[in-house]
Chains A and B, each alone.
Chain A
Amino acid sequence: MTWAAHPDGVVIELDHVSKWFGDVVAVSDVTFEIRPGITALLGPNGAGKSTVLRLLCGLARPSQGHVRLLGLDPRRDLSLLGRIGLVPQQEALFEPLTPLETVEAAARLLKVLAPRDTAAAALELVEVDPGDPRPVRALSKGNRQRVKVAMALVHDPDVLVLDEPLNGLDPRQRVHLIELVRSLGERPGRCVVVSSHVLDEVERFGSRILVIAQGRLAAEGDFRRIRDLMDDRPHRIRVGSADAAPLAAALLEAGVVQGVRLVDGGLEVETSEVRAFRSAVAVVARDRRLALDEVVPLDDDLDSVFRYLVGR
């Protein structure tokens, strides 16, 4: 199988895929296509991201629908597995082995030529010393994560899947891994899929985003469009003020809120133009000489953002 066999450039295809475990629906009727380059899978914890990644690697079987990787079924075609590199979310590794032994074992199972040298090179790429004699159980969480990345990279895969790869990394390691993932995604024809629950993180990986929430595909496209969708939704904001009633009237008069409700110690407003509101509220309070104690967004957490996207 070569890339030429896919004239439309689709590498990964999920066609009306659902996955349930007993009564629990983990993924519900998800359809999308992924082409070469970096695609970020964004969603809150428990949204079904890991299940989607397991489905597209063949580790799980869809309850309904079809998964195709390079045009083939990853659960049926064994040769396909040699073209996938997966960094799973779980931490477990072959604990008594050193980093080099661990990555070398992966290289041997992947039939890589010169497995020891290639494993050492993969470790150097992720900034782990191949000569480190300690077993992986003695490594820090960040170094264990980097060993997992080296295992996924050692055979130069066509499809690289990383499930929450930044977990446990310190800021410098995060920057390095983001740069590494970006460079890996630049290889022509390679497809990199990376999941995260933090929008600021995934937009640094690349521009294409799939948003998964409550097991459903909530949005997909360029991250700027997704960011706009998130910003343009109705926002609820609490405004602390001893002059709640006149401040409410002034904000309505200024046209930056759609609704106002007086609450203990201030007011709650609803606005779809959050940037305009943030600019106007202090000016309105100052011009009218009204008290303004605090401005607190009430629904800025990711869960409420995802709930909005799902409910659109």
Chain B
Amino acid sequence: MLATVYRLTLRTQARIGRLAALGALGAVAVLVGLAIGVGDLDDTLEAGTRLVNTYGLSIYAPVVALVFGAAALGDPADDGTLGYLWLRPVRRSHIVVGAYGAALSVVLPLTLVPLVVAAALSGGGGALVRGTVLAATVAATAYTALFAYLGLRVRRSLVWGLTYILIWEGFVALAGDTAARLALRSYTRSVLADATGVRLRLADVSLPIAVGVPLVVAAVALALTTRRLHRMEVP
């Protein structure tokens, strides 16, 4: 059952237009990473870390996860095909995990490849590359689950998701430590800061917590999505 839901979601959601548009955004990171690498900078580790943090983890990874995470179950709910999944003797958790798995298997490579290439081209070294791999993986895992729930919970999930990314995480969460704890970004940037040793603002969470909290957020989001799917009225 999981495999069937996974394949259905992957075939219907991984559209060329989406992949191309988001791939172009990823290419921006690669180009900036290249510019840092060939430029005359004293500290390429810090410049590369700030690139991965401010563009990769703050904008690119959340947006990619939003597009595919919200579409995983949100698109079928909007176009009516969710009924074909819902009206089957399949555990709701299997539908959610299958759809989430399909979204994640697009989001992970689409996020990791350009950010890791950008990190490598920037000349930041192995620490930056390792930190980017771990931070981007944590970000993709958590954001995709969070936005999968959002996609099933609200209409116009892209607008709500962008509001969360740009207004909450990009503005409100920068106000102080307490607000930052309620933003996934502070955990993913802590992972990056821990790996590179570069000081980043509001990135003072220990590595186990920085990895663990987003994974817990992902698990809770998937549980809530399952509950929502079980209780919702299917259009």
Tell me the smallest distance from the CB of A50 to a CB of chain B, in Å: 11
Question: Which residue of the partner chain, among A92, A108, A110, A151, contacts B80 with CB atoms under 8 Å?
Answer: A92
Tell yes or no: B1 within 8 A of A by CB: yes
The CA of A280 and the CA of B49, in the complex, are separated in Å by: 94
Tell me the smallest distance from the CB of A92 to a CB of chain B, in Å: 4
User: B38 contacts which chain A residues (CB < 8 A)?
Assistant: none
Q: Are the C-beta atoms of A59 and B233 separated by less than 8 Å?
A: yes
User: B11 contacts which chain A residues (CB < 8 A)?
Assistant: 94, 96-97
Q: Are the C-beta atoms of A81 and B88 separated by less than 8 Å?
A: yes
Tell me the smallest distance from the CB of A85 to a CB of chain B, in Å: 9
Q: Are the C-beta atoms of A94 and B233 separated by less than 8 Å?
A: no
Q: Are the C-beta atoms of A88 and B83 separated by less than 8 Å?
A: yes
Please, how many residues of chain A have a CB less than 8 angstroms from a CB on the other chain? 29
Q: Are the C-beta atoms of B233 and A106 separated by less than 8 Å?
A: no
Contact (A86, B87) CB under 8 Å given A92-B80, A92-B81, A109-B1: yes
Select from chain B the residue with minimum beta-carbon distance to A111: B89
User: B81 contacts which chain A residues (CB < 8 A)?
Assistant: 92-94
The CA of A111 and the CA of B4, in the complex, are separated in Å by: 11
Tell me the smallest distance from the CB of B12 to a CB of chain A, in Å: 5
Tell yes or no: B8 within 8 A of A by CB: yes
Tell yes or no: A82 within 8 A of B by CB: yes
Q: Are the C-beta atoms of B83 and A109 separated by less than 8 Å?
A: no
Tell me the smallest distance from the CB of A53 to a CB of chain B, in Å: 11
User: A60 contacts which chain B residues (CB < 8 A)?
Assistant: 233-234
The CA of A105 and the CA of B90, in the complex, are separated in Å by: 13
Q: Which of B1-57 contact A (CB under 8 A)?
A: 1, 4-5, 7-8, 11-12
Q: Are the C-beta atoms of A82 and B80 separated by less than 8 Å?
A: no
Tell yes or no: A114 within 8 A of B by CB: no
Contact (A109, B88) CB under 8 Å given A59-B234, A94-B11: yes
Tell yes or no: A2 within 8 A of B by CB: no
Contact (A109, B80) CB under 8 Å given A60-B233, A96-B11: no
Question: Which residue of the partner chain, among A82, A86, A94, A105, contacts B89 with CB atoms under 8 Å?
Answer: A82
The CA of A87 and the CA of B5, in the complex, are separated in Å by: 20
User: A93 contacts which chain B residues (CB < 8 A)?
Assistant: 81, 84
User: A108 contacts which chain B residues (CB < 8 A)?
Assistant: 1, 4
The CA of A57 and the CA of B84, in the complex, are separated in Å by: 12
Tell yes or no: A95 within 8 A of B by CB: yes
The CA of A81 and the CA of B86, in the complex, are separated in Å by: 9
Tell yes or no: A279 within 8 A of B by CB: no
User: B83 contacts which chain A residues (CB < 8 A)?
Assistant: 59, 86, 88
User: A106 contacts which chain B residues (CB < 8 A)?
Assistant: 84, 88
Q: Are the C-beta atoms of B80 and A61 separated by less than 8 Å?
A: no
Question: Which residue of the partner chain, among A59, A79, A94, contacts B12 with CB atoms under 8 Å?
Answer: A94
User: A177 contacts which chain B residues (CB < 8 A)?
Assistant: none
Q: Which of A55-104 contact B (CB under 8 A)?
A: 57-61, 78-82, 84, 86, 88, 90-97
Select from chain B the residue with minimum beta-carbon distance to A104: B4
Contact (A110, B89) CB under 8 Å given A59-B234, A61-B233: yes
Select from chain A the residue with minimum beta-carbon distance to B94: A109
User: A86 contacts which chain B residues (CB < 8 A)?
Assistant: 83, 87
- Which of B84, B90, B235 lies at the interface centre, i.e. has the most chain A CB atoms within 10 A of its CB? B84
Question: Which residue of the partner chain, among B84, B87, B234, contacts A94 with CB atoms under 8 Å?
Answer: B84
Q: Are the C-beta atoms of B87 and A81 separated by less than 8 Å?
A: yes
The CA of A56 and the CA of B161, in the complex, are separated in Å by: 35
Question: Which residue of the partner chain, among B7, B79, B87, B233, contacts A84 with CB atoms under 8 Å?
Answer: B87
Question: Which residue of the partner chain, among B7, B84, B91, B233, contacts A78 with CB atoms under 8 Å?
Answer: B91
The CA of A59 and the CA of B83, in the complex, are separated in Å by: 7
Q: Are the C-beta atoms of A88 and B80 separated by less than 8 Å?
A: yes
Q: Are the C-beta atoms of A151 and B86 separated by less than 8 Å?
A: no
Q: Which of B47-88 contact A (CB under 8 A)?
A: 79-81, 83-88
3 smallest A-B Cβ distances: which pairs? A82-B89, A90-B80, A109-B88
What are 25 inter-chain pairs, A to B, with CB distance below 8 A? A54-B234, A58-B87, A59-B86, A59-B233, A78-B89, A81-B89, A82-B88, A82-B89, A86-B87, A88-B80, A88-B83, A90-B235, A92-B81, A94-B12, A94-B84, A105-B7, A105-B8, A108-B4, A109-B1, A109-B4, A109-B85, A109-B90, A110-B88, A111-B89, A151-B84
Q: Give 19 A-B pairs besides A82-B89, A96-B12, A97-B8 with Cβ atoms closer than 8 angstroms.
A: A59-B86, A60-B233, A78-B90, A79-B89, A81-B89, A88-B83, A90-B79, A90-B80, A91-B80, A92-B81, A93-B84, A105-B4, A105-B8, A109-B4, A109-B5, A109-B84, A109-B90, A111-B89, A151-B84
On A, residues with C-beta under 8 Å from B are 54, 57-61, 78-82, 84, 86, 88, 90-97, 105-106, 108-111, 151
